[in-house]
Structure 1
């Protein structure tokens, strides 16, 4: 039995508005009551110790985030502030317990978890993992997904030619015989058009890959992917690509970067387990021209990497704020952590090296999304010709993030090797709301590019057209 959030709380924001502010005010009030003035030893010894302990905790957290290569954008200052306050609150609770009255002890016990919640809210503001209370509740309680049905219902609907108004999301168990990769359950979205015949039409497929810390359901709960594709299908008489939401990590915090390495053969799972399963189970097209990949953050790096390594399987990718290459810290840390210290294995999964070694590509295209300033400036598009040069009349723009530099470098190199590509800049931060926005913007292009029936093929964005674009 699943539970749901009260209706009044469904759309409460966990990133903006009154709720995060209220939690912070309560936490500050309780901590102030817990600290108090007390005696001279308390003020001169224990309070400085509490502050130092908080700073040490913050330094450790900062070191971990930096060395693990976890971030695309710098963390908000309030995350480090609340990390410090949480560490200090814990010392106040422990050191001040004996000298405190019952009410001050109560305030101390409540202040620590509330300060931790405030740090979590600051972290969420950074990554956008839980935009609303409803999203958080559904994720934490494993609530039902949008459009979710079981396989038996899908089979019955298809045999009876019951074409639903919206698509259906089916939890699936994909084997690992080819890869040996231990993974969690994955998900498949079937558009209304899939139910039109038995056997089903050989529809195109998009592989959906999330970020470094992920579950296969993230694109559905946090990335709003199902509403986006349902809306798209409704505008095209039920026609849309099939989507498969894959598990690239095997666990929430197992950063594989979609490679074969020390953390598992993730690449083999995606190419040798998932692709055949989709073709055999749901009758999707086996042609590379009908397969695309969409990835966010780490998944964006995966989208480029898998496509350029396997143009026989995939013909289009959308890289949403991915890196230049697999990234698990510094370059040497990545080689050590993912490839057991092997430079050769790292090179075999480095998109720049792969593209350079491959030579000319045919029929491969890519859309690179990078996040830009938040003010209401127009989106910026950098389109490359087949020699890797910028569009005629375009102007150079300085880049400020690793993702922007990576997109420009990969698009320029790819274009010189026959990959049709564009770099699209839209307002936003390196977070899930930006990923959701980017997927919605590129879906019409991706669906047309991989041959969705009834969906016209549209060109990549050009300066002055679509997305209110301007030349770089």
Structure 2
């Protein structure tokens, strides 16, 4: 049986049960408040709406930890949870401990339902294990991986690895995850530990020398986001089962420095993230794993901030990355607007920003050997138009562009399936399977 830690938080029975319980809890609290405390009940509900609205305004206009605004649905669910807590306070005076306990449980149910609903909008935490930040069940240590296998199957020029790979005597049923720090030796960038997915073919009696996929998170974000929201290990395991254990070796490094930071994926006053991702990270990967050294067989991708970052690295360092996966990225690196970005990152030097801005680079340079895979939600009103502008610029610059527009907004309901849809083309492009 599936462990309760691996129950889904975005689909299936658990979200339904929590949602129904939250609705019942709110109904009970409203009923109790209506019995002689209607005025204070209205005050509690009105205060919840006011606090949620004021908090949203502060986040969007004063704090501004991320470029896009909080959706109205998020503010609505925050108000729902706060209203439950406020109504529990209203129901407290003049009642016995039993009814007080019921009110507390009802408030907890509304808060839990509110949190689960917000998570459902984004799909950030796919399971209970992910939400609690617990160790993945398939995690191993870096020290457990042999740096050099006795027998390795290397790629042959101009042929996909699948053409020379034969299923070995021992092949694990699934891949493994590990977490390790990647030092910023050249960049000086202080990064959080990265996550790495090792496919079954890398752990077999004969080791496949695999291509590399570097995946980046959004902002705010964590290096676990592709595991918690995208379940990338399960995606790659399914792909591997269809290809005799073959899948890309996936590295998920830090491109932020901390959850709320936004260093723009550039070398600037905010940190040398570009050097970190194009020098430190590739050097660390090559020194710790047997991977395909051919730059044509390395890809970089990400969602939101990570998608913008993939575009930036592709046009700034095509000697490192020529296959790009941009899921709902922006048209340029930003802290909210151009003036604020130029001031914070380059001390007001607009020309310095222009030299590193992807659309400005694409307007003057050509990239005929680069392939861009793009995914954006059909209902993403903020990032959809930006992605279309990026697509047009990439095509004018000579890139090969492939485009997917699944239903959904700016969330994991798009990014997870988007990776699945793009993976066969990406795997063919980086020399893993036939195109």
Scaled by the length of structure 2, the TM-score of the pair is 0.83
Deviation for aligned residue 1:402: 3.1
Aligned residue pair count: 414
Scaled by the length of structure 1, the TM-score of the pair is 0.77
With over 3 angstroms needed to count, the CA separation of the structure-2 counterparts of 1:26 and 1:268, relative to structure 1, is farther
Deviation for aligned residue 1:195: 4.8
With over 3 angstroms needed to count, the CA separation of the structure-2 counterparts of 1:441 and 1:413, relative to structure 1, is same
Would you say 1:290 and 2:297 are equivalent positions? yes
What corresponds to 1:403 in structure 2?
383
Distance 1:356 1:156 in 2: 43
Deviation for aligned residue 1:369: 0.7
8 Å Cα contact 2:210-2:292 kept in structure 1:
yes
With over 3 angstroms needed to count, the CA separation of the structure-2 counterparts of 1:159 and 1:227, relative to structure 1, is same
What corresponds to 2:25 in structure 1?
27
**Residue of structure 2 aligned with 1:447, choices 424, 427, 431:** 427
Distance 2:366 2:91 in 1: 69
Would you say 1:122 and 2:117 are equivalent positions? yes
Deviations 1:4-49 (Å, cap 9, x if unpaired)? Answer: x9646744544565223223223313422552432xxx544x3443
Would you say 1:368 and 2:374 are equivalent positions? yes
8 Å Cα contact 1:34-1:107 kept in structure 2:
no
**Residue of structure 2 aligned with 1:75, choices 71, 76, 80:** 71
**3-state SS in 1 of match to 2:144:** helix
**Residue of structure 2 aligned with 1:172, choices 157, 171, 180:** 180
Distance 2:299 2:251 in 1: 11
CA RMSD in angstroms comes to 3.1
Deviations 1:171-203 (Å, cap 9, x if unpaired)? Answer: 2221122222222211222233335689x6653
Would you say 1:87 and 2:78 are equivalent positions? no
Deviations 1:78-98 (Å, cap 9, x if unpaired)? Answer: x33332233344444556655
What corresponds to 2:129 in structure 1?
137
Distance 1:419 1:270 in 2: 22
What corresponds to 2:141 in structure 1?
150
Distance 1:118 1:300 in 2: 31
Would you say 1:204 and 2:216 are equivalent positions? no
What corresponds to 2:335 in structure 1?
328
**3-state SS in 1 of match to 2:302:** strand
Deviation for aligned residue 1:254: 2.5
Distance 2:147 2:101 in 1: 57
Distance 2:65 2:133 in 1: 29
With over 3 angstroms needed to count, the CA separation of the structure-2 counterparts of 1:120 and 1:13, relative to structure 1, is closer
Distance 1:294 1:340 in 2: 29
Deviation for aligned residue 1:425: 1.2
Structure 2 alignment gaps of length 5 or more: 153-169
**3-state SS in 2 of match to 1:84:** helix
Structure 1 alignment gaps of length 5 or more: 374-399, 459-472
